Amino acid sequence: MARPKITAEQRADWRNLPLEHWNVRTTHQMIIDLNAEKFGVEKYVPLRGWGFEQGAIKRALTDYGAEALRETIERAFAEYKPSAKFPQLTAGFLIAYMLPRIMPQVLADIKRKEQVARTVGNAMSTEELASWL
């Protein structure tokens, strides 16, 4: 059965697109939108050009996955303080300089959540516990 084709417009809707469908366009749009919303950036200017940023995003998506990259981007925007000299947070800067510090924390949090979910999933039900006692 063929999956329905996702349009470019749908790919750019990062708030509603499931993580398994994220690609470079989705991630880039998230960063552009967050710059506009949080810092009032009207015209996004990529670090070292669009090709550089797209390549950096592609590598990060391949290496870490959409869930971890999205969380890293959210944390980076939460801590970034724009200045007159650097009024926006570019994808290139975020991935080159902030991701190496933030991503290990994100991956540890994801691993911890997975372990909790496995532990809870393997826990005895009340009926099993009652029969054991």
3-state helix/strand/coil string of the chain: CCCCCCCHHHHHCCCCCCHHHCCHHHHHHHHHHHHHHHHCCCCCCCCCCHHHHHHHHHHHHHHHCHHHHHHHHHHHHHHCCCCCCCCCCCHHHHHHHHHHHHHHHHHHHHHHHHHHHHHHHHCCCHHHHHHHC
Judge if pTM exceeds 0.85.
no
**Chain segment 85-128, per-residue pLDDT in tens:** 999 999 999 999 999 999 999 999 999 988 887 776 666 566 76
pLDDT value of residue 133: 63
Of residues 129 and 67, more confidently modeled: 67
